[in-house]
Chains A and B, each alone.
Chain A
Amino acid sequence: MSMNDLLSITPWPVFSATLLVILLIAVMYFARSTAHQAIRTASGALSRALKIASHSLSHAQERLGERNREVLLAAGREAKERVIEREFTRVGETVRKDLANYPHLHRGLSEAIGQIEKDHQDAVEVPPDPPGWVRAVEAVSKLEAKDGGSEVLADMHKSIVKAHKEAMEAYREASTERHELLRAMMPRWRDVQQLLTQVDKKAESLLTRSAGVDRHMQEYEQIVKREDKALSVLSSSSLVQFFVSAMVLLVAIGGAAINFSLIARPMAEMVGGTSFIGVFKTADIAALVIIMVEISMGLFLMESLRITRLFPVIGALPDKLRVRMIWITFSILLLLASIEAGLAYMREVLLQDELATSALLRGGEGPLENSSLWITTAAQMGMGFILPFALVFVAIPLETFVHSLRTVLGLIGIGLMRALSLVLRVLGNGFRHLGTLTERLYDLPLFVPLWLESRLAVNEKAELPVQDLREVAP
């Protein structure tokens, strides 16, 4: 039914329209409570559903947060254990080395001290013997001069002077000898001093290390106690590790791409330049496989050396088997590096051949003889040989990346869930308010009947006490 049909229910369109509006308002007025209920139910249902979804997301976010916390703490605990283990190993090494040297040191010190003692004993000053004839001199001096005492005294004086001179000479000789002995003691003092300095240095290094171990142990305790401070430190450290390792991995991907370009062209000589696997050239895939094998070998080598711990099975192998594995992976790497160097050489040869053919087909001269060509050839060969070994070290950032990725993904997930939960909560509230607004909007065209209704209600209230009184009166 079109608008024209509706307006032609009476001969006057305006009257028809007015009639229709009145009818509509009447219908809306009578259906008001049902419509309000329907609007309330619909908006309430939507609001509740969104709030439940929001709650559910909040719970999931909390669970994810808890899991992330566990992961972070476990990773932090493991890393700290590794650090502490390494520190203890170093301390142990130092102690073992120093204690192994201790008997030697002790012997050196004892010898030096013994020698000093001996020299000291030897250097003790012996006082000169007192002259034995002092009493004789006293007796002679009491004699009378006429009894010839003066002559005797003169002789004695002479003898004493002579004896004194001899005694002084002997004393000087003895002093010189003692000085010599004291001088000989000096290097031994220095030896002792040097040995004690060494001991001091080693003790100092041990103290520094033990302070480091103490610090690590404190951090470890914080992690074990699941303290928020430790968690915050681990979280930020994990993010830093993620970005740094991602950057190093990007550099490694660049290296792999260069490696790929070095060997893809000559690979066409080996596997043909026109066969395809899917949409990719077989030669390209072969080159890629070689690079992937190199990276895998690098990973196994790093695992065998226990530098990384991506494959616990390799780390747990018996030492003998592990050493064998090191040699095997290294040999394969060496072989692949040599193959790559050969392919890089072949690439240069092919390039020259292609240039010569192109020049011939263009009708020009052949490529000019380049005397420095060997430099680029050697550089390519060198890169072909070195890059596989350089790619070995990709294992280290890869391990860090994989470990930190778990945390970072967890953090991103938590952030997304939190945002989604908030959006759902806002939407839930929005729908509730929208329901109320729709009710009000529904009532808007009904303002006339509603006003009349309210007036009637007021009048009824005003009349109600009178009626009640009438009913009560007999």
Chain B
Amino acid sequence: MKRISVLACIVLAACTQSAPGARNSGVYLLLDTSGTYRGELRKAEDVILYTLSRLEPADSFAVARIDTGSFSEKDIIAKATFDERPSLANKQKRAFAQRVHDFIARENSAQHTDITGGLLQAVEFLNEKGTGRKTILIFSDLEQDLEKGYVRDMEVPFAGFDVVALNVVKLRQDNYDPNKYLARLEQWKGQVEKSGGQWRVVNDLDRLDSML
């Protein structure tokens, strides 16, 4: 009888996935704070709130800024792994939204734009969380502008990641020569897909439902 009870417990434990395991999602949103993109941050807040509303308990979410050197935990504005209990998860979401709101209200422009560093940080963060589905949202014009001395010529391991570029605005020089804009998009797409990731661009923020 004792053996049967132990066996039943083992079977039940095997069936039960008490850890979130492969079912939860992880989202990392990179926010471009460079001078060319500073004016778009209000839109970014809407995107963050929308993302928060779509996330479930046990999901992970982080918002980080892209500045001169983005490969740093200090650039993470807010991060949370939502509690399994829905009521606590709601509280966490409200606090998260407040932190993002405060940041956007007081943030100054960054001198340079280190997108690759931010992506590396995102990959590291989401791999550490071990979420089932990993999504990196880049809210930027995708124009990388590295400060002298920063080396970002490595390959970022995007295998198993969805990378979504949001609101990729056209720069002044893109209007003169659209090839530059297209080349920029193509370059990032190639970089992501080369290392096994999925690449998408969503410029119409009215159809955010396709984002996640």
A and B: interacting chains: yes
State whether the Cβ of A465 lies closer than 8 Å to any Cβ in chain B: no
Are A274 and B56 also in contact (CB < 8 A) when A361-B50, A361-B97 are?
yes
Shortest CB distance B26–A (Å): 13
Query: Scoring A residues 272 to 283 as 1 if CB is less than 8 Å from chain B, else 0, what string do you get?
Result: 111111100010
Are A357 and B90 also in contact (CB < 8 A) when A274-B20, A363-B49 are?
yes
Q: Which residues of the partner chain A approach B49 to less than 8 Å between Cβ atoms?
A: 361-363
Is B84 touching A354 in the complex (CB atoms < 8 A)?
Answer: no
Majority-rule SS of A interface residues: helix
Q: Which residues of the partner chain B approach A282 to less than 8 Å between Cβ atoms?
A: 16
State whether the Cβ of A268 lies closer than 8 Å to any Cβ in chain B: yes
Is A278 touching B15 in the complex (CB atoms < 8 A)?
Answer: yes
Task: Name, among B15, B23, B50, B90, the residue most crowded by chain A CB atoms within 10 Å (CB to CB).
Answer: B90
Task: Name, among B52, B84, B97, the residue most crowded by chain A CB atoms within 10 Å (CB to CB).
Answer: B84
Q: Which residues of the partner chain A approach B94 to less than 8 Å between Cβ atoms?
A: 357, 360
Is A350 touching B86 in the complex (CB atoms < 8 A)?
Answer: yes
Q: How far is the CA of A278 from the CA of B86 in the complex (A)?
A: 21
Task: Name, among A272, A274, A357, the residue most crowded by chain B CB atoms within 10 Å (CB to CB).
Answer: A274
Q: How far is the CA of A282 from the CA of B49 in the complex (A)?
A: 28
Q: Select which of A274, A278, A350 is within 8 A of B23 by beta carbon.
A: A274
Q: Select which of B23, B46, B50, B52 is within 8 A of A276 by beta carbon.
A: B23
Query: Scoring B residues 82 to 95 as 1 if CB is less than 8 Å from chain A, else 0, what string do you get?
Result: 00111101100110
Shortest CB distance B81–A (Å): 11
Closest 10 CB pairs of A and B: A272-B84, A274-B58, A361-B53, A357-B90, A273-B57, A361-B49, A276-B17, A277-B15, A275-B18, A274-B84
Query: Scoring B residues 42 to 58 as 1 if CB is less than 8 Å from chain A, else 0, what string do you get?
Result: 00001001101100111
Query: Scoring B residues 14 to 33 as 1 if CB is less than 8 Å from chain A, else 0, what string do you get?
Result: 01111010011000000000
Q: How far is the CA of A402 from the CA of B208 in the complex (A)?
A: 53
Q: How far is the CA of A363 from the CA of B49 in the complex (A)?
A: 8
Query: Scoring A residues 344 to 360 as 1 if CB is less than 8 Å from chain B, else 0, what string do you get?
Result: 00000110011011101
Q: Which residues of the partner chain A approach B50 to less than 8 Å between Cβ atoms?
A: 361
Q: Which residues of the partner chain B approach A227 to less than 8 Å between Cβ atoms?
A: none
Q: Which residues of the partner chain B approach A362 to less than 8 Å between Cβ atoms?
A: 49, 53
Q: Select which of B15, B18, B46, B85 is within 8 A of A273 by beta carbon.
A: B85
Q: How far is the CA of A276 from the CA of B84 in the complex (A)?
A: 12
Q: How far is the CA of A274 from the CA of B83 in the complex (A)?
A: 9
A-B CB contact pairs (8 Å), 8 listed: A272-B85, A274-B23, A277-B16, A278-B15, A350-B87, A353-B90, A357-B93, A362-B49
Is B85 touching A268 in the complex (CB atoms < 8 A)?
Answer: yes
Within 8 A of B (CB), among A18-59: none
Is B17 touching A275 in the complex (CB atoms < 8 A)?
Answer: yes
